[in-house]
């Protein structure tokens, strides 16, 4: 979401026109929904005195929170204060990204307030119902995160025969594994914002995406994921012109697509600056977004310098281009 869109959304949340409030109130009185889907921030903002749902939702008795690993502790406290009588059910994955923060995780504010709710609840031994069957990804692509992250507890609920979109349209190095690692001998650049871009990798991505479109793969079946904001900016215009969705790693959690093109961007890494790319939760999110196939673009020599990136992106996969 752009800064402008975020500001417009905030204004819509906080400054509802009187006519809108009256209309919504009448609608809810005539036919109150059994289930209301809403973000936590919208719920808390509109539940304040004088806001849209201040009285309307006072008798809510069940709250179900999705992507609970990204719900910060203060939001959970606020929900409990607003709905003290409600039963709360949270669904999430402790092995995926925690709440986004704008400071380093070693700061006091981060240590006190940025833990994901799933991590907190698991420490308190609340009643737990494990969900171990995954239906999204091709079974062969599921094997690596299952082994390295989930302790071989996951069960693939979708057979490989139902995940053949990429396999049926391309000749792959390994026909039973719909994944290709493409070595891009480019050069990454560090901007004044401390983000990274790589023009050669961006060009390769556009060429690859166009090739997939030429093979009758629909634009809405393809997603591009970048690790860095500057690389996303390089691809905004071509992705929009092709009708392909574009995300950063930190914004893609909760989304899924048939085929993912993942851009790692960096060509020079050291232990201090490569921590972002080598984060196991971030890497796990990137590898579990696709249903039918995955392309990983990157500088293989640089990726091999880090344990997590090497194991996930390069080590187990043969047929690197």
Q: In the structure, what pLDDT confidence band is assigned to residue 239 with cuts at 50, 70 and 90? A: very high
Q: Total structural domains in the chain?
A: 2
Could you tell me the two tokens for 129?
Answer: 């119902």
**Residue 151 to residue 145: CA distance in whole angstroms:** 9
Same domain, 173 and 295: yes
Domain with 274, as residue range(s), is 133-314
Same domain, 118 and 137: no
Same domain, 153 and 217: yes
Looking at the chain, list the stretches that DSSP marks H as alpha helix, in order from N- to C-terminal side.
3-14, 18-30, 40-46, 73-82, 108-113, 117-123, 139-148, 199-214, 229-242, 280-287, 300-303, 307-309
Q: In the structure, what pLDDT confidence band is assigned to residue 307 with cuts at 50, 70 and 90? A: low
Same domain, 170 and 100: no
Which of 73-87, 97-111, 229-243 has the highest mean predicted lDDT (pLDDT)? 229-243
Where does a domain end: 89, 123, 157?
123
pLDDT at residue 290 is higher than 90:
yes
Confirm whether 252 is domain-assigned.
Answer: yes
Q: How far apart, in Å, do the first and last CA atoms of the chain sit?
A: 34
**Residue 131 to residue 65: CA distance in whole angstroms:** 15
**Residue 51 to residue 31: CA distance in whole angstroms:** 20
Same domain, 51 and 154: no
Confirm whether 226 is domain-assigned.
Answer: yes
Report pTM: 0.83
Confirm whether 319 is domain-assigned.
Answer: no
Give me the residue label for tokens 């851009």.
263
Same domain, 119 and 151: no
Q: Within a 13 Å sphere around the CA of 149, how many CA atoms are in the beta-carbon half?
A: 23
Q: Write down the pLDDT at residue 170.
A: 93
């Amino acid at each position: 979401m752009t800064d402008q869109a975020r500001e417009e959304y905030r204004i819509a949340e906080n400054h509802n026109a009187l006519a809108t409030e009256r209309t919504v109130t009448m609608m809810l009185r005539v036919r109150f929904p059994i289930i209301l889907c809403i973000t936590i921030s919208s719920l808390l903002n509109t539940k304040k005195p004088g806001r849209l749902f201040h009285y309307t939702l006072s008798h809510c008795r069940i709250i179900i929170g999705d992507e609970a690993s990204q719900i910060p502790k203060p939001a959970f406290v606020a929900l409990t204060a607003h709905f003290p009588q409600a039963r709360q059910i949270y669904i999430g994955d402790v092995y995926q990204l925690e709440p986004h923060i704008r400071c380093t995780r070693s700061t006091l504010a981060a240590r006190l307030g940025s833990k994901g709710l799933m991590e907190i609840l698991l420490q308190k031994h609340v009643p737990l119902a494990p969900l171990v069957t995954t239906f999204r990804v091709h079974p062969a692509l599921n094997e690596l995160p299952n082994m390295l992250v989930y302790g071989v507890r996951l069960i693939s609920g979708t057979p490989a025969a139902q995940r053949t979109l990429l396999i049926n349209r391309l000749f792959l190095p390994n026909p039973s594994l719909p994944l290709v690692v493409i070595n891009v001998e480019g050069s990454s650049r560090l901007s004044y914002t401390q983000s990274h871009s790589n023009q050669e990798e961006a060009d390769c991505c556009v060429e690859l995406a166009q090739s997939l479109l030429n093979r009758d793969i629909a634009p809405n079946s393809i997603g591009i994921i970048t690790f860095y904001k500057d690389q996303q900016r390089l691809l905004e215009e071509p992705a929009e012109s092709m009708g392909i969705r574009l995300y950063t790693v930190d914004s893609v959690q909760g989304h899924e697509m048939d085929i993912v093109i993942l851009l790692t961007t960096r060509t020079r890494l050291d232990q201090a600056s490569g921590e972002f790319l080598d984060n196991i939760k971030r890497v796990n999110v990137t590898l579990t977004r696709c249903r039918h196939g995955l392309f990983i673009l990157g500088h293989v020599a640089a990726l091999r310098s880090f344990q997590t990136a090497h194991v996930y992106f390069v080590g187990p996969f043969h047929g690197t281009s």
